[in-house]
Amino acid sequence: TLRTEERQRLARERREEREKQHAAKETQILEKERKAKLQYEKQLEERQRKLKEQKQKEEQRRAAVEEKRKQKIEEEKERYEAVMHRTLERNQRLETRQKRWSWGGSVTPDSESKTALLYTASKRSTSTANLKQTEAVMNKRLSSSAALLNASDRTRRSQLSPLDSSVISRLLAPTQASLARSKSAATLSAD
């Protein structure tokens, strides 16, 4: 009886020990699972945070690229406008210069007298031989350019309306100022 009681007591103790070990293992497993779950949640939060930061950086980069592109377009537009402005100014200067010296252009009396004075001063300083030579070259050039103008004008006038052709013939007709210049040049060359 003592032996059976001793055996039962030892068996009970062994059973209790096993149950304790089993309970300790279960708590360890539960603790590991809890830690793993916490770790997973932490990693998930970290990943979401990184994705959010990356998205923000990408948006900032895209906004910077867009801003740079807009700025470049604005600079190109300003450069284009400046070029157009310079071109228009240059064209206007050329037009005024051409009007000033053309047959039909308006030459002010002051500029006419200044050019006549300059012309006479320069002509007096040159020799008569140079005058004759220059005159011959000028006459040649004028006659050839007049012939070319007349030929091209006739072909153009046939294509123009009557109003346009009358305006062009008026512009090609010598003005009083140009006739006066021719007379003064002729008197100087005669001198």
| pLDDT at residue 105, rounded to an integer | 46
Crossing angle of helices 176-190/128-159, nearest 10°? 150
Higher pLDDT, 78 or 154: 78
pLDDT in tens, 19-76: 999 999 999 999 999 999 999 999 999 999 999 999 999 999 999 999 999 999 999 9
DSSP H or E segment with residue 53? helix 2-101
d(CA 126, CA 120) in angstroms, rounded, equals: 10
pTM summary value: 0.33
Torsion angle (degrees, nearest 10) of CA 175, 176, 181, 185: 110
Sign of the torsion angle spanned by Cα atoms 75, 80, 81, 83 = positive
Share of the chain above pLDDT 90, in %: 41
| pLDDT at residue 98, rounded to an integer | 76
d(CA 143, CA 166) in angstroms, rounded, equals: 23
User: Is 178 exposed, middle or buried, given 0-12, 13-18 or 19+ CB atoms closer than 10 A?
Assistant: middle
